[in-house]
Structure 1
Amino acid sequence: MIDFIRGKVVHLESEYVVLDVRDIGYRVFTPNPYALARSEEPVQLFVHHNVREDAIHLFGFTTRDEQSLFRRLLEVSGIGPKVALGVLAGGRPEAVVAAIQQENITFLTKLPGIGRKTAQRMILDLKDKLGSINSKWDVAPLVEFEVASTADNASAWAEAREALAGLGYRDAELDKAWLVLKDNLTGEESPDVLIKKALQQLFQG
């Protein structure tokens, strides 16, 4: 069983990075590949090693807490690795934990691949199992997140926009991408998540 991988990012796509580990390239699916691409130093990812009859996949996370939350999500009926990865890509881990513990179905159903029934199962199956993860984050009530969401989005987008401008995107392109994105956000997206979402929109034109 692989617990973590450390290597340099040599290639990335919208869903994964390739890490060069002693001249072997490992494809690792991760919530925010573009965040890792900005590092010129070797990166370390905590790994979930998923083995199926027809495939072997590696899913990687920058913290062990994210790795633990990912594995907890897999315990929920109807949530596979790709959906669990989408949940971590769509919202900050601490916000996901808070939503489950506070039974906030509205928040959970805004996450990729999560419908109302799946959100209800997440709450039922995980509400009492996230204590060890919760204790490591300052999980505030989601009502506070929602009140501050507009300001939080603006601040996160400012940082994401600066990074995207550094990649060569023009102001007009970034403004157009933001107009599409801003009405479909939970308010809990980090700059890294906004970078990924904006790049997906920019690639689509």
Structure 2
Amino acid sequence: MIDFVEGTLVYLDAEYIVVEAGGIGYRLFCPNPYQFVQHEGTKTRLFTHHHVREDAILLYGFASRDERDLFRKLLDVTGIGPKGALAILASASPEQIVMAVQQENVTYLTKFPGIGKKTAQRIILDLKDKLTGYTPSAILTVAAASQKTGEQAASHLNEALEALAALGYSEAELQKVRNPLAEQAREGAGVEQLIKQGLVLFSR
């Protein structure tokens, strides 16, 4: 079992980053690879989840143990696979996700990509008790204002993606820019800024 990978961040992609350690390049699938852009060319450490299936052996990388541990708990929810769990973590912080589950906030959870009402209810049912002992220490200082900020970011992201779709971009194209735009939305970018950044990403 690989608990973490530490090495030089060689390059990143829309879905993963590559870290060189001991002469080996490890491809690590991340919730938002672009959050590591400032570390490109420098030494970095990612906590990992080693996922094995019949046709592939994959490594998932996370900036913190809290994020990695929550990813693993999401995988225990019926109907949520690695891609779905990554999409959830790309859209909110672990603290915001844990708070939503503990408050049984179905409306908030359904804002995540691919999460309908039934899946949101399943997340709450499967994880509420399991997260009691998990709660990150930072959640103790997260107030209602923090959740409101997260909801506003999700709203701005959705509006920007809808605007880009209206300009003719396909769902496949929109999925490629969702993660970097979600990160910028959480940092306070407005709808207009997100649309402009989306157009920049499409032009690359």
Q: Please indicate, yes or no, whether the TM-score normalized by the shorter chain is above 0.5.
A: yes
**Matches of 2:91 and 2:50, distance apart in 1:** 22
Deviation at 1:66? 0.8
Q: Pairwise mapping of residues 78-89 of structure 1 onto structure 2 (< 5 A)?
A: 78-89=79-90
Checking the alignment, whether the CA contact within 8 Å between 1:90 and 1:193 is kept in structure 2 is no
Q: Which residue of 1 aligns with 2:201?
A: 203
RMSD (CA atoms)? 3.7
**Cα distance change on mapping 1:147 and 1:60 into 2, 3 Å:** closer
The answer for the alignment partner of 2:57 in structure 1 is: 56
Question: Number of matched residues?
Answer: 182
Counterpart for residue 186 of structure 2: 190
Return closer, same or farther for 1:71/1:178 CA change in 2, 3 Å cut-off.
closer
Deviation at 1:54, TM superposition (A): 0.3
Kindly indicate whether the alpha-carbon contact (under 8 Å) linking 2:160 and 2:194 is maintained by their aligned counterparts in 1.
Answer: no
- Counterpart in the other structure of 2:75: 74
Conserved 8 A contact 1:29-1:60: yes
Partner of 2:135: 134
Moved over 3 A (4+): 139-150, 181-186, 192-202
Q: Which amino acid aligns with 1:48?
A: H
Q: What residue identity is the alignment partner of 2:109? A: L
CA contact (8 A) 1:4 1:47 kept: yes
Change (3 A) 1:190 1:77: same
- Ranges in structure 2 where 5+ consecutive residues have no aligned partner: 164-177
Q: State whether structure 2 residue 14 is matched by structure 1 residue 14.
A: yes
| 5+ long unaligned stretches in structure 1 | 158-176
- Could you list the per-position Cα deviations for residues 74-101 of structure 1 after superposition, in whole angstroms to 9, with x for gaps in the alignment? 0000000110011000111100100011
Compare 36-45 and 14-23 and name the one that shifted more.
36-45
**Residues 201 and 79 of structure 1, relative CA distance in 2, 3 Å threshold:** farther
Secondary structure at the counterpart of residue 133 of structure 1? coil
Identity of aligned residues (%): 45
Aligned-partner SS, 1:110: coil
